[in-house]
Chain A
Amino acid sequence: MQSTPSSDTQAAPAPSRREAQGPAAPTVAAAQVIDAVKVYGKGDTSVRALDGITASFVAGRFTAIMGPSGSGKSTLMHCLAGLDKLTSGEVLIGDVNLSTLDDKALTVLRRDRVGFIFQQYNLVPTLNALENITLPLDLAGRKPDREWLNSVVDTLGLGDRLKHKPSELSGGQQQRVAVGRALVTRPAIIFGDEPTGNLDSHAGAEVLSFLRNSVRQLGQTVVMVTHDPGSASYSDRVVFLADGRVVDDMADPTAERVLDHMKGMGD
């Protein structure tokens, strides 16, 4: 349908140095994209996956990105996370402009300031649960903050399974390990790519509640791509994309409202 630019997008505040710890003021942007254009291919066969998106993701909030297949939601997330480069426009994580970074700096940024949760749990099969959680810290050669690690592990409820290899864990447990891995560096922002796509509804609900709690209680910032209205209902805000543009923005979504909205979007 027609695009209705959201107020959040309009009133993007100046980037702040603020780390996402503790409850955050709702107006500080943890990440933003400005005039983001991403074109795949060249000439006649080129596809504009992102067609001039400007959006801001507020710190301490849980944002869902929704849209039909090909709407550009995954591309947007990949560009936000520094996994892919924009054709034009800018991405900021905190106050860092990603287009100024080389591969090495981008890798460090992903390691230290960004957390990932994938649909395929994507754990390293040769490491046990605890080692998978601390992997980003190990890669950076840093010792984990004991207290923080304990509180992450406690909230994950993995307890006695920490020494188990991924192959000995259930899908839900594996995804909780992945969440732990995303949380352990206290990143500025966590990106989830259909994080419950491979889970049964019970395990999925568990992971989503957990993500929401990390936002509510730990002040974490989470951006999640999903196509499931039920999952989206856990978030504070839903950004709808279509054809590479932001078409709508919904605060405090419920599964019904999201579903209705999607029906409204028609095609």
Chain B
Amino acid sequence: MWRTTIKSLAAHKLRLALTALAVVLGVAFMAGTFVLTDTIKHTFDALFAQTSAGKDVIVRATSPYTSNGRDAFAGSRPLTPETLLPVVQSTPGVRAAEGSVSGLVTVVGKDGKALKKQAPTLAFNWSTDRAMSSLTLRSGRGPVNGHEITMDSGTVKDQHWQLGDTITVITNQPPRQFTLVGVTGFGKADNLAGATLVSFDTATAQEAIGKPGYFAQIEVASARGVSTDQLQSAIGARLPTGFEAVSAQSVAQQTANTVSKNLSFFNTFLLVFALIALFVGAFLIFNTFSILVGQRTRELALLRAVGASRAQVNRSVLAEALFTGLVGSVLGLVIGIPLAAGLYAALGALGLSLPSSGLQLLPRTIIVSLLTGTVITVLSAVLPARRASRIPPVAAMRDDAIEVDTSLRRRALTGGLVLVVGVVLLALGLFNRAGIAIVGMGATVTFLGVAMLVPLVSSPLSRLIGSPLPAVSGVAGRLGQENAARNPRRTAATASALMIGLAVVAAIATLGSSATASFNGLFDKSIKSDYVLVGSGGGQDRGGISTAVEPAVRNARGVVAVSPYRQAVWHDGNATKQVTGIDPVDGPKLLTLNMVTGSSSALAQGALLVDDTVAGDHHLKVGDTVQMGFPATGVKPVIVGGTYKTNQFLGNYTISSQVVADNVNQVSDDALFVKTASGGAQQQADLASAVAAYPNVAVKTSAQFKQDQKKQLNSILAIVYVLLLLSIIIALIGVVNTLALSVMERTREIGLLRAIGMQRRQVKRMIRGEAVVVSLLGAVLGLVLGVGLGAAVVSALSKEGLDTLAIPTATIVVVLVLTALFGIGAAVWPARRAAKLDVLQAIAAA
């Protein structure tokens, strides 16, 4: 029996190669993802180990609240007063101790614009004890006064700066000019994963990114022969309450863990697409094995006739699948590694330059990739194998191949049931908040259910989709249309593979267009300003807008009202919350505050305004006191001054911008909202010249701001589409495979058509017609399903502000046109094969 399995593998090399290709691509994606994220993680671990180099103990204020990642470098904890430094320095066992200051700044490049990098710009105070610093001096010297800085070698090379050059740095204060006196490396690397690294002398750093008289923390090196534990407890005993001495290594570990966590999200994100690709591949595998079994009916029946048991036939098909899956997975793994290397290099080109630390191929990667690829292949072949085992021996005697067809009614029942389970899971996940995993599972099961039901409708739908074909290409078109309709199961399985990839595309596109539409609606409802000033770098993690910008804008011509928009995290004893700070007087003129109770004027007294719904949930009313725990400054009692109708931009809590400034370590604005007496290009130019000194600040009209948000969203969507492309390519390979197998099956029929006068180009047209119909069937099903899925997600998120459903018509049209073109592309090879068939041999083929 094994011999027949091997013979069969050898006989169907090409078909199985195409099948294996689906596994190869999916597994390569998966293995590549693992290798890439493992390598990045390894690199970061090494980098963060570097941050603790030369330090043994860190002295810092204790934080009652966990940092949520935001302000990880500015430190979401109270500052440490300079007065503690002599206390630490005089502790026995301390070789050296230094205060450290860190924060975020904006560096102006040679072109006069803010440096635009994916990674942030981090600023530190220059450590005078070089043994304790992770920054290594490559050339020049450290800064010694308020006019000097050092910068990392990566950025210096990028900008072609030289020692002695003047560089503008924007901090909390107005822009300042510095002279470059030193170029640094980060350990052996040029910088920290692409982040720009700037150092000031300590006094300047305190002034620019911290608070005079304070450090973020004190770093301690132990004297020879003193262990970290000993030093830690010796210092700890001398510290006042509210401060702690921790090992430098554990701090570095914590930072690395935060990065790890973000990376694991990235890893999961990519793996989802790898799994979608493999899921699509499963359809291809299922289809190929079904067709192969169908074509080998006589051969398998003969085996049964001469004494092979059902189990043996079943096992022989599964063994073929096992072999295909294993070979495909191994190849995928082998291809995945250079793929990861390429992506790693591509990240470098994007500005996230990471030192190469060697690709990380963990045993987990090998095991998971091989196992997933192989198991999916074998599982996909289970049904075809069972069908093969049910071929009666008598089929060997009959002339015409008999299809062992189970009735479609049973298919309808099972498919319907699966679909219901999928929809229920989806509903639970979306509307009952059972979690994203349940949503994913629901979507997968729904896809399976629909795929099972597709054969019921694929024939009429194919005829409908193909109805223009006879008019376009005559009888060849008509035959193509009919060929697509003649085998509903095969067409359905092929189209379903395409359906899945395109359904995800359509769902994402629906989400995207709805998000854009909702955002625009929200913006109009929530914001009354004429102009929005944003940091051109984009995010708050890039230093944001200096607070010095606000007065500059206020003095500009035509300005009627200005409000900063800044945020802080706080803790209510149970959970971390966010509070938005706005100008107490101008803020309500620029951001919609529909007060339900109380008055927005309470902002000026430092009172807190609360979203009406949230206030209800927490039983808060005007006059109540909320204990707001700020990581930097501790618990502050704040009076509730009023409640307002939901404003998605303000969020649940709104307070005076001054209160936010008083309770964070480094204050900056995320945006400034501006109202002017009149609009027009001149007004915009006036505003722009008012902030000309801040090249990181851009002046946008409300319309431009909305457009930017749309662009940003579209670029994210583009990445997702690229990631989905692999699934679609696999599905198209499925179309190629099915067509090629069908051509082989219809050799006689094509021979006959050629014999009675069908031209080669008509044969090609016929195959192309079939390909286009099958592809479009998949596209139509996928788009309908995807838009439905997207609409469901939108309606589930309507409370979060996604209140407008927008159907992405343009995307749908593009997908349909591209699918038709891809279908034609997929038909090229099978069509050529069919057209080349030798007429005589084709007719003679039994």
Contact = CB atoms under 8 A, between A and B. Distances in A.
Interface stretch (A101-109, A204-212, A227-235, A251-259): A101-109
Contacts of A136: 756-757
Contacts of B486: 125-126
Contact of B757 (A84, A118, A124, A139): A139
Contacts of A104: 759-760
A118 B843 contact: yes
Nearest to A111: B757
B757 A108 contact: yes
A84 B843 CA distance: 12
B589 interface: no
B475 interface: yes
Interface stretch (B171-179, B429-437, B730-738, B747-755): B747-755
B670 interface: no
Q: For A78, A124, A141, which residue has the most chain B Cβ atoms within 10 angstroms?
A: A124
B840 A122 contact: no
Contact of A112 (B754, B757, B758): B757
Interface string B832-846: 000000011001000
B479 A127 contact: yes
Contact of B749 (A103, A125, A140): A125
A108 B757 CA distance: 6
A120 B759 CA distance: 22
Contacts of B759: 104, 107-108, 139
Contacts of B475: 135, 138-139
Contacts of B757: 107-108, 110-112, 136, 139-140
Interface string A123-161: 011110000000110111100000000000000000000
B474 interface: yes
B754 A107 contact: yes
Q: For B752, B754, B756, B759, which residue has the most chain A Cβ atoms within 10 angstroms?
A: B756
A240 B526 CA distance: 97
Nearest to B751: A122
Nearest to A137: B475
B483 interface: yes
Nearest to B835: A103
B762 interface: yes
A57 interface: no
A116 B478 CA distance: 22
Contact of B758 (A84, A107, A125): A107
A83 interface: yes
A46 B843 CA distance: 23
B482 interface: yes
B843 A122 contact: yes
A181 B760 CA distance: 20
Interface in B711-761: 748-749, 752-760
B308 to A, nearest CB: 29
Contacts of B843: 83, 118, 122
Contact of B840 (A78, A110, A124): A78
A76 to B, nearest CB: 13
Interface string B463-496: 0000000000011101100110110000000000
Determine the interface band of chain B, counting residues with CB < 8 A from chain A.
20 to 34
Contacts of A118: 752, 843
A83 B842 CA distance: 11
A131 B483 CA distance: 15
A118 B479 CA distance: 21
Contact of A139 (B485, B748, B758): B758
A110 B756 contact: yes
Contacts of A140: 757
A108 B483 CA distance: 24
B756 A181 contact: yes
B470 to A, nearest CB: 9
A110 B476 CA distance: 17
Nearest to B753: A124
A208 to B, nearest CB: 21
Given A83-B839, A83-B840, A124-B749, A139 B755 contact: no
A126 B482 contact: yes
Contact of B762 (A112, A127, A139): A139
A125 B485 CA distance: 12
Contacts of B760: 103-104, 107
Interface in B744-800: 748-749, 752-760, 762
Interface in A47-90: 78, 81, 83-84
Contacts of A126: 479, 482-483, 485-486
Q: For B474, B475, B482, which residue has the most chain A Cβ atoms within 10 angstroms?
A: B475
A87 to B, nearest CB: 15
A110 B752 CA distance: 11
Contacts of A111: 756-758
B840 A84 contact: yes
A124 to B, nearest CB: 6
Contacts of A115: 756
A124 B752 contact: yes
B422 to A, nearest CB: 33
Contact of B756 (A84, A116, A120, A127): A116
Nearest to B759: A107
A138 B752 CA distance: 15
Contacts of A116: 755-756
A258 B755 CA distance: 31
A254 to B, nearest CB: 31
Contacts of B839: 83
A107 B840 CA distance: 13
A125 B641 CA distance: 80
A108 B755 CA distance: 10
B304 to A, nearest CB: 26
A78 B760 CA distance: 19
A101 to B, nearest CB: 13
Contacts of A110: 755-757
A122 B748 contact: yes
A122 B752 contact: yes
A83 B755 CA distance: 7
A127 B478 CA distance: 9
A96 to B, nearest CB: 15
Contacts of B748: 120, 122
Interface string B180-193: 00000000000000
Nearest to A108: B757
Contacts of B753: 124, 135, 139
A84 to B, nearest CB: 5
Nearest to B474: A141
Given A115-B756, A139-B759, 4 more contacts: A107-B759, A110-B757, A138-B475, A139-B756
27 contacts: A83-B755, A84-B840, A103-B760, A107-B754, A107-B760, A110-B755, A116-B755, A116-B756, A122-B749, A122-B843, A124-B479, A124-B752, A124-B753, A125-B749, A126-B479, A127-B479, A127-B482, A135-B475, A135-B753, A135-B756, A136-B756, A136-B757, A138-B478, A139-B474, A139-B753, A139-B757, A139-B762
Q: Which 5 A-B pairs have the closest CB atoms?
A: A111-B757, A126-B482, A138-B475, A122-B752, A110-B757
